[in-house]
C-alpha cells in the first residue's frame, strides 16, 4: 500500500499492518503533554522548535532534526516547550491489550 490515509486508519484500525496512528505534532511555547504510554512503539521526528521531554526515565532537550523513540509501555511526556514545536509522529502496530491513545497507570489517576 503506497499511501496510507490517516482518516481510513482512524476509522479502520486494521487499515495498516505497519502503523496504528500517525500525524503532525504542533505544540506552542509553554505547553506540556502529561506522562503517558502506548500499547505500541512511537517515533517523533522534530522539524521546528525545541522542548524538554522525558522518555524511558531520562530527560532530553530536542530540536530540529532529532528523532525520539519510545518503546511500547514506556512513559514519556513533553515537560516544557521552549520554542513552538513541530514535527511528525508515527505509532507502530498495537500489541498487548491493543488500546489506542494516551494511556495512564491506575496510580496516575
Here the CATH number for the domain that contains residue 37 is 2.60.120.10
Residue 2 lies in a domain: no
Structural domain boundaries, residue 57: 21-103
Q: How many residues belong to the chain?
A: 109
Number of structural domains the chain divides into:
1
Asked if residue 6 belongs to a domain, the reply is no
With respect to residue 36, please indicate whether it lies within any of the assigned structural domains: yes
Q: Is the dihedral of CA 59, 96, 108, 81 positive or negative?
A: positive
Q: Is residue 79 part of a domain?
A: yes
For 21-54, what is each residue's pLDDT tens digit? 889 999 999 999 999 999 999 999 999 999 999 9
Whole-model pTM?
0.84
In a domain, 7, yes or no: no
92/4 Cα distance (integer angstroms): 13
Per-residue pLDDT tens over the stretch 46-59: 999 999 999 988 99
Phi, psi of 33 (to 5 degrees): -130, 125
φ, ψ of residue 10 to 5 degrees: the values are -65, -40
**Is residue 93 in some structural domain?**
yes
Amino acid at each position: 500500500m503506497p499511501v496510507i490515509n490517516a482518516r481510513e486508519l482512524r476509522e479502520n484500525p486494521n487499515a495498516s499492518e505497519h502503523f496504528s496512528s500517525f500525524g503532525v505534532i504542533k505544540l506552542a511555547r509553554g505547553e506540556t503533554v502529561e506522562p503517558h504510554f502506548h500499547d505500541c512503539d512511537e517515533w517523533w521526528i522534530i522539524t521546528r522548535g525545541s522542548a524538554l521531554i522525558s522518555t524511558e526515565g531520562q530527560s532530553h532537550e530536542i530540536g530540529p532534526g532529532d528523532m525520539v523513540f519510545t518503546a511500547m509501555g514506556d512513559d514519556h511526556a513533553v515537560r516544557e516547550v521552549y520554542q513552538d514545536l513541530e514535527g511528525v509522529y508515527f505509532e507502530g502496530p498495537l500489541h498487548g491489550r491493543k488500546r489506542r491513545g494516551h494511556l495512564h497507570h491506575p496510580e496516575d489517576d
